[in-house]
Amino acid sequence: MDESYGPLGILGGGQLGRMLCLAAHRLGIKTVIVDPGGIESPAGQVTRAAVHGSFKDPEALEQLAARCKVVTYEIEHINVDALDKIAKSNPALRIEPPPSTLRIIQDKYAQKVHLTSVGGVPIGDFRPVEDEEGVLRCGADWGFPLMLKAKRNAYDGRGNAVVKDRASVREALESLGAGRPGGAEVYAERWVPFERELAVVVARSSDGGLAAYPVVHTVQKLSMCHTTVTPANSALPAGVNWAAVEAEASRVAQAVVAALPGCGVFGVELFMTAAGQVLFNEVAPRVHNSGHYTQDACACDQFENHVRAVLGMPLGSTELVVGASAMLNLVGGPVDAPGGSMAHCSRPMERALTLPRASIHWYGKAEAKPQRKMGHINVTGDSVADVLRAVRVLDGDELSDAL
């Protein structure tokens, strides 16, 4: 590929960075990552070009900027002030999506305020809270349970606390390090009685064009994405008009991305109620776990489209090219299990090798730890029933009843 497109710098060397590097390399684009693990990190093993250091460290970011024309990221918890400074001192460098978008998204409360202000994005009730009284007022207005969320640095449910009733308010605040002067900033969300969670990955090209991937059904386990299924309409509640829900989910996801500057891929998480109402949950300005299925099920996967978008190339088709698809995350199990933490991943991987339409995507992490994402398996089939059957083979009895 033309030298003018690269190298592409990536902040973070985890699995998302690794899959971005793999996609870039397929296109002939060189990549450089920044990660404390350097070339031993999941992405570093692929690109072999790395700045050793944290993506929060301004010096490491400066070193990366000196080697790249475009910088993107695999994680949103970045030092935005440092990024802004680097953008100013390197006028030829493009950061995509831009720091202004990161600033909005990093604060989950600011994210919701912004998306409320643009209109067209249905969002459940939410409110800033500072202390026990504030949370009690939310409970009085909305009822319990309700959700307390840290404004910043949250992922995989770490940063959320369910407030069951009036008596659990203090404990929930304390669990997030909030409710005292100088503590973490939190806000409250009204409980959404969702029937299922949906997600849509949306790509935006440098000319502003949006392309949405199919709607997926995501199932979380311990607040972490566990399985995704596409099409997302299996076992719907009676009376739900799926065509309308699907169109609305795609519309909302695109409205969210339209409200955030920059090019690249964004992952939009949504709730669907039993009545078929779609509500926004959160957006990530990057490739997303709910889009891993696209590697084996769509014409051009989310990683390649992110690379294309941030480098100013035309987007590839987001079309589903199989009847149905599912993705199963491989996470480390308990350390005291027979075979250790890794055993939890080995069993589904061995089973995947016996299935004709399953592919393993391993991240190359040094060791397994409980709940650490180690890899994923994508399965494709002619129908949702086919892929669910395959997921049950892979996952044994663990699969949530939600499917």
Q: Where are the beta strands (DSSP E) in 166-295?
A: 186-190, 194-204, 210-212, 216-221, 224-230, 264-273, 278-284
Binding piece for ligand ATP, criterion CB under 6 A, among 130-138, 185-193, 314-322, 363-371: 185-193
- How crowded is the C-beta side of 8, counted as CA atoms within 13 Å? 34
* Cβ proximity to ligand ATP, 87 vs 279, nearer residue: 279
Q: How far is the CB of 124 from Mg ion (least distance, A)?
A: 14
Binding piece for Mg ion, criterion CB under 5 A, among 1-9, 109-117, 265-273, 327-335: 265-273
Site for ligand ATP in 72-131 (CB under 6 A): 124
Site for ligand ATP in 277-336 (CB under 6 A): 281-282
Put the strands of the sheet holding 160-163 in their side by side order.
Answer: 126-129, 186-190, 146-150, 160-163
Q: How many CB atoms lie within 10 A of CB 213?
A: 30
Give the whole-angstrom CA distance, residue 73 versus residue 287.
9
Token pair 């680097």 in the structure block, residue: 86
Residue 223 sits in the site that holds ligand ATP (CB under 6 A): yes
DSSP, collapsed to helix, strand or coil, labels residue 188 as strand
- CA distances from residue 149 to 59, 80, 140, 144, 304 in whole angstroms, order as listed: 31, 21, 18, 15, 32
Binding piece for ligand ATP, criterion CB under 6 A, among 2-10, 88-96, 190-198, 351-359: 190-198
Q: How far is the CB of 273 from ligand ATP (least distance, A)?
A: 11
Q: How far is the CB of 282 from Mg ion (least distance, A)?
A: 5
* Cβ proximity to Mg ion, 153 vs 383, nearer residue: 153
Give the whole-angstrom CA distance, residue 183 versus residue 181.
6
Q: Which of 155, 222, 244, 396 binds ligand ATP (CB under 6 A)?
A: 155
Size of the site for ligand ATP (CB under 6 A): 18
Q: How far is the CB of 235 from ligand ATP (least distance, A)?
A: 18
Whether 372 and 331 have beta carbons less than 8 Å apart is answered as yes
Which partner from the list ligand ATP, Mg ion, none does 156 bind, CB cut-off 5 to 8 Å by kind?
Answer: ligand ATP
Question: Can you give the binding site for ligand ATP, defined by CB under 6 A?
Answer: 124, 147, 149, 154-157, 159-160, 189, 191-192, 197, 220, 223, 269, 281-282
Binding site for Mg ion (CB under 5 A): 269, 282
